[in-house]
A and B are shown apart, each in its own frame.
Chain A
Amino acid sequence: MAAPLLASFALIAIGLLFGVLMSARRIHAQRLEREELAARHRAEPVLHALLDGDEVDRNASADDTALAAMLAELSPSLAGETRTAIAEYFESTGAISRATRGVGHPLAHRRAESAAVLGDMCSDQAEPALLMALNDRDADVRLAATRSLGRLRSRAAVIPILHSLACRHVPRAVAANAVLTIGVAALPGIRTLVTTEHPATRAAAVEMLGRLGNPRDGESLRDRLTDEAPLVRERACEALAHLGSGDAGQALEDLLADDERGVRAAAAAALATVGGPSNAARLLEIVHHDCAEVAEIAAATLAAIAPGLVSRVGAEDDAHPKLRHAASMLQAGLV
């Protein structure tokens, strides 16, 4: 009898302990939620004053983290005097110094949190600490620092960020987004890296130049179409497609015979915006002879630049399935 009794007691004890722990946890979490809500509530007048350019009450007990979190949603669209006012506010409250010290904290998640929050405080004073954090041993810290440097529109960060991107120290999407957030101010830095020795860095720079550059960058991008590194050639095709450099048509057509499948696919896709009907014959050849993925892209490009030809060829009895598909897409008005 002792064993079942003991088991029942043990089960009840475990159940009670679990119940108490869960309840305590929930009460604690609810209290934290309430506190966070209250902190946001307290920070609201300060936020409005900063955004409206009004005098900020420095004695107001606004929580810096709550305020920065609220600004996080707005900071990419903030500019000029508003940014200066926000920076001055955080500098005067000592929040920048505290967060900067936090970037050197022994615990990785504390460093990452500090690096993330600095990006929303709009102060250039944070730049040196964040640049240092780009070389942190923890990936999350590097990621947060990259994001923040982008939000601070740090020109000094462009080259280190592109190097980090090339070395895969930071995620591609985050690094690229940071550079894009910096905007045209990043162009001088990017242009210096287009011919750098390291292929991955060259590829990253070419990609960014395609996104941020102007038609005058077309020439340097066309030069990269004959780069020795396939990744650079592929990125150059994509970049030229973005910039819409019309005179790159012949160079791109030449790349349809490239050894690398990715380059051929990128060249075929780029011809949809850069090429014209003069590229159609070569693209038709690609549809018939290249691998499925490249043929698919070539057929879609053909439908965009030579719809009449695709409708005619696609209607033939022995038409290639990709062309028949492209013709039916045209007929349905889906191209």
Chain B
Amino acid sequence: MRTAVEVVGLMSVAYAAAINLCYLMLWPLARRGMKKAIRRRGWAWHQEALSSPLTPGVSIVVPAFNEEAVILDSVASLLGQRYPVFEIVIVDDGSTDATAARMIEEHGLHRVEPAPRNLLQYEPVRELYRGGSPTDITLVRKDNGGRADALNAGLDVARHPYVCVTDADSILDPDGLTVMMRPVQEDPERVIAVGGTVRVANSSRVESGRVVEPRMPRGQIAGFQVVEYLRAFLYGRVAWDSIGALFIVSGAFGLFRRDVVEEVGGYWVDTVGEDLELTVRLHRHMRELGRPYRITYAPDPVCWTEAPADMATLGSQRRRWHRGLWESLWRHRSMMFRRRYGAVGMLALPYCLVFEFGSPLMEAAAWIAFPIGISLGVIDVQIVFAYIVCAWLFGTVITMIACGLEERGYRHYRRSGDLLRMFVLALFENVWFRQLVDIYRLRGVWDIARRRDGWGTMKRRGFEAT
């Protein structure tokens, strides 16, 4: 018993040191990536992209299940995109509410005969509706099959060479698509996917489908997620992108080359982490064929989303994310530690396994081992304190660096009160929010062990209510 506790204690310390070392190594990469993005903004060429007749078209695919409350606002936000050629494809995934009826009535859509390409697998399409100029809107009504299934149906009717996927409860900045397409315009032969930044919109001022004044959420749960998202996107993804190992293009805001997604068979419908799985599969496919490619990240374009504002919804979301992570890692386990798969196989996937999937397990082991160790006298209480303090301090510093990157690059939060709130939340995120998330992730592990599937429920308050 004593030996076991000692081993777990030592492993926990080593694990904490290793994870912190990883974060430290990512810092210069994130800093360099953000610096470059900020500098280039000074002489950006968005206007050229907008006026060029060679700008490729983009199909925006939005899966929707019982989204009657938000669907019209969402489409209004998408119609406000300042991009020359795009269409909107709404996929009604077997909704039982008036999602489709609202779309048909508001946009005067006409029913036409479906003509699927049948290149991807998805539940049968029942009806297809199309609108006319000025902006193409397509509504696909199909049997319920889940988000990935709906995205496959949307991809199969999309007419443009690039596909931007987003959610019905998300709001894109008006220049979102233009900025997102910039890496594609710069390197169309190699860029096959681009990830954009997702931000928390709770409590922000939204007018006519646009976030006109970003604000820090009033509730603590959503507030902590602001700093958490900043760390994930401006720190993590920028850093991974700079070494060509971006392992996830977020499902809330991602852009793909349609032909390549079709080549790999579209989204995998048997997972709840379809965005991560598709990104890894694209890496795998291109590496195995030996084709030059880039899956990159653009920190500038922003998609605003409603983050869970209560613990039950947050718990359901995090359990699902953790299950999705495991499903993708398990499916692509053969890529790990294989030089053939480059930085993704050698670094990103092992990192995901050890530090993303494994961290709640290691933390739980530490929280159990330390009190037992102290009571048995095998672990010094001072060492435990030092461990907790170091982990806390380091986590706080990393979060603050991410907040600093936001302040340096974007300054979305103009009010001093918001800045102060972000700073206070960054200080205390590691005190209880991270532990709370770890508990949900542990429950996700339990779900995996019980082979439990499904999406759970996402309770939305809507932007108007904020």
Contacts and interface: CB of A to CB of B under 8 A. Distances in A.
Interface of A: 3-4, 6-7, 10-11, 14-15, 18-19, 21-22, 25-26, 29, 73, 109, 112-113, 116-117, 139-140, 143-144, 147, 168, 171-174, 176-177, 180, 207, 211, 292-293, 296, 299, 314, 321-322, 324-329, 332-334
Contacts of B427: 11, 14-15
Given A19-B423, A25-B408, A144-B43, 12 more contacts: A3-B382, A11-B393, A14-B397, A14-B400, A15-B427, A18-B423, A172-B54, A173-B185, A176-B54, A180-B52, A296-B115, A299-B115
B379 to A, nearest CB: 14
B234 to A, nearest CB: 15
B117 A25 contact: no
B193 to A, nearest CB: 17
A171 B181 CA distance: 12
Contacts of B2: none
A325 to B, nearest CB: 3
21 contacts: A3-B382, A11-B396, A22-B419, A109-B39, A109-B40, A112-B40, A116-B43, A168-B187, A171-B185, A173-B49, A173-B185, A174-B186, A180-B53, A292-B118, A292-B119, A321-B114, A324-B115, A325-B113, A325-B128, A326-B115, A334-B110
A7 B411 CA distance: 30
B403 A113 contact: no
A177 B185 CA distance: 12
A322 B115 contact: yes
Interface in B392-435: 392-393, 396-397, 400, 403-404, 407-408, 411, 419, 423, 426-427
| Across the A-B interface, the 5 shortest Cβ-Cβ residue pairs | A325-B115, A332-B110, A116-B43, A292-B117, A3-B385
B89 to A, nearest CB: 15
B105 interface: no
A22 B404 contact: yes
B45 interface: yes
A18 B406 CA distance: 13
B188 interface: yes
B55 A173 contact: yes
Contact of B396 (A14, A116, A324): A14
Interface in B14-54: 39-40, 42-43, 45, 47-49, 51-54
Nearest to B115: A325
Interface in B94-146: 110-119, 128, 130-132
Given A3-B382, A172-B185, A296-B115, A22 B52 contact: no
Nearest to A211: B53
Contacts of A29: 411
A26 B112 contact: no
B413 to A, nearest CB: 10
B189 interface: yes
B415 to A, nearest CB: 11
B376 interface: no
A22 B112 contact: no
Nearest to A170: B186
Nearest to A325: B115
A66 to B, nearest CB: 13
B185 A113 contact: no
Contacts of B53: 176, 180, 211
Contacts of B113: 314, 321, 324-325, 327-328
B186 A171 contact: yes
A18 B110 contact: no
Given A113-B42, A140-B40, A6 B54 contact: no
A25 B404 contact: yes
A139 B118 CA distance: 40
Contacts of A211: 53
B392 A321 contact: no
A140 B182 CA distance: 13
Nearest to B48: A177
A326 B393 CA distance: 63
Q: In this complex, which of A10, A171, A293, A327 has the most chain B Cβ atoms within 10 angstroms of its Cβ? A: A171
Of listed B119, B159, B186, B187, residue having the most chain A CB within 10 A: B186
Contacts of A296: 115, 117, 159
Contact of A143 (B47, B119, B186, B385): B186
Contacts of B39: 109
Given A144-B43, A176-B54, A334-B130, A325 B114 contact: yes
A168 B389 contact: no
B444 to A, nearest CB: 30
Nearest to B386: A3
Interface in B52-75: 52-55
Given A25-B408, A325-B112, A176 B117 contact: no
Residue of B40, B43, B388 with highest tally of chain A CB at under 10 A: B43
A288 to B, nearest CB: 13
Contact of B419 (A26, A171, A299, A325): A26
Nearest to B431: A11
B110 to A, nearest CB: 4
B187 A3 contact: no
Nearest to B416: A26
A10 B411 contact: no
Nearest to A3: B385
A329 B112 contact: yes
Contacts of B400: 14, 18
B354 to A, nearest CB: 27
B389 A6 contact: yes
Given A11-B392, A171-B185, A211-B53, A321 B115 contact: yes
Contacts of A168: 187, 189
Nearest to B47: A73
Given A3-B389, A26-B407, A109-B39, A329 B48 contact: no
Contacts of B187: 168, 171
Contacts of A139: 186
